[in-house]
Chains A and B, each alone.
Chain A
């Protein structure tokens, strides 16, 4: 079943561009903005979710390139955590098809609220550096270079971080978003990775969760190339522009922008949820 659209491809490219731009500038990711924007334009929430999950694979791939080259991404941590996040993605995407729309609106708002909380509490991270045998076996460690200094890191608590990633994957699959803030928080607070490594690795994993969920959504017939193609095109360009501008604005401005956008999206989805009851 493909839903007939009243909006054309040019508008979808612009939506993707805005979402990609704001998503990379605010750290929310494109899909968190694409879904509410499509819903705002009158597209049914499940169709919006199904199409926007595919765009996160594109933005994840595009933005991972430079982070990989700079060795910020911990591939071993990513591979281990992807096992769990894929399972969550499959389950989440499958569940979306059976739950009513109002639930998705409220869950979307709730999840963004939780993510907002995680983002605001990043300073509570530090604790003891004891490495357990399981994490040692997985060899989750590495190093990167910052301002000429080599920063070494070593993971811990992999046995807790892994299963928690099922939750992150589930949320991503249900809502068609990357759930990056949640994934970053797990890697930083539980796995004990540095913030830059956590952010880069989360960005890398997002694409994998997106693919897992996308394979489920494609089978529903809700994914239309004429919706998702322009969105990917716009989001890819927007995220490139956004990430370039990000270097020029202060952390405070980016943080405020992120908070304002998140609160606006939460309110919009809550209103939609109430309307669809």
Chain B
């Protein structure tokens, strides 16, 4: 059917890499954990959440980094799609993917919410 390089193949490859890496980090972090340590914090963003957890304990940091690697997969694939549509000169989808990328980036940096 569709031979060679395609957007679907690129996206599925990026999903596999992110999920496997993320699950590995979560597993290592959980195995390193020797007892709960609850921290009280209200992080400013997704990245701040990872940093705060690393400052708490390495195991907690690793788990949060693994979780983050997995949950940013939609962002990664949007960036891939944006590049793909730019190369293919499909400008309607360049605009759509660009808008989604900007929104997600702002959200991950903590600038989007009613809080």
Interface residues of chain A, those whose CB is within 8 Å of chain B, are: 1-2, 4-5, 9, 54, 57-58, 61-62, 64-66, 68-69, 71, 73, 75-76, 79-80, 82-83, 86, 90-91, 93-95, 97-98, 137-139, 143, 145, 150, 207-208, 210-212, 214-216, 218-221, 223-226, 228-230, 232-233, 236
Between A and B, 17 residue pairs with Cβ closer than 8 Å are A2-B40, A9-B33, A62-B15, A69-B8, A76-B93, A79-B78, A90-B112, A98-B114, A207-B74, A212-B103, A214-B46, A216-B107, A220-B115, A221-B41, A223-B49, A232-B67, A233-B23
Which residue of chain A has its CB nearest to the CB of B73? A61
Interface contact A2-B38, CB-CB below 8 Å: yes
Contact of B23 among A66, A98, A216, A232 (CB under 8 A): A232
Interface hits, B13-46 → A, CB 8 Å = 15-16, 18-19, 22-23, 26-27, 29-30, 33, 36, 38-46
> Which one of B18, B29, B71, B100 has the highest number of Cβ atoms from chain A below 10 Å of its Cβ?
B71
Contact B43 A218 (CB under 8 A): yes
Identify the B interface with A (CB < 8 A).
1-2, 7-9, 11-12, 15-16, 18-19, 22-23, 26-27, 29-30, 33, 36, 38-46, 49, 53, 60, 63-64, 66-67, 70-75, 78, 81, 90, 92-93, 96-97, 99-100, 103-104, 107-108, 110, 112-115
Chain B neighbourhood of A214, CB < 8 A: 46, 71
Bound complex: CA of A2 vs CA of B63, how far in Å?
Answer: 16
Contacts A224-B38, A233-B26; A207 near B73 (Cβ below 8 A) = yes
Question: Do B15 and A64 touch (CB < 8 A)?
Answer: yes
Which one of B9, B41, B93, B107 contacts A215 once the chains associate, using CB atoms below 8 Å?
A: B107
Question: Would you call A57 and B8 a contact (CB within 8 A)?
Answer: no
- Contact A221–B40 (Cβ < 8 Å): yes
Besides A54-B67, A66-B12, A219-B42, 6 other A-B contacts (C-beta < 8 A): A57-B74, A58-B19, A69-B8, A143-B1, A225-B63, A228-B67
A residues within 8 A CB of B9? 68-69
Residue of B nearest to A206 (CB): B74
Q: When A and B form their complex, which 3 residue pairs have the shortest distance between CB atoms, in order from nearest?
A: A94-B114, A215-B107, A229-B63
Q: Which of B73, B75, B113 contacts A94, CB < 8 Å?
A: B113
From B61, which residue of chain A is reached at the shortest CB distance?
A225
B27 to chain A, nearest CB (A): 6
- Whole-angstrom distance between the Cβ of A269 and the nearest chain B Cβ: 24
A208 to chain B: which residues have CB within 8 Å? Answer: 74, 78, 100
What residue of chain B has the Cβ atom nearest to residue A66's Cβ? B12
A47 to chain B, nearest CB (A): 12
Q: Which of A68, A73, A229 has the most CB of B within 10 A?
A: A229
Identity of the chain A residue whose Cβ is nearest the Cβ of B39 in the assembled complex: A2
- What chain A residues lie within 8 Å of B93 (beta carbons)? 76, 79
CB distance from B26 to the nearest CB of A (A): 4
Verify B115–A225 contact, CB threshold 8 A.
Answer: no
> How long is the Cα–Cα vector from A65 to B41 in the complex, in angstroms?
35
Name the residue on A nearest B26 (C-beta).
A229
CB distance from B19 to the nearest CB of A (A): 5
A71 vs B110: C-alpha distance in the bound complex, in angstroms? 34
CA distance A97 to B42 in the complex (A): 14
Q: Are B92 and A137 in contact (CB under 8 A)?
A: yes
Assembled-state Cα–Cα distance A146/B63 (Å): 40
Min CB gap A227→B, angstroms:
10
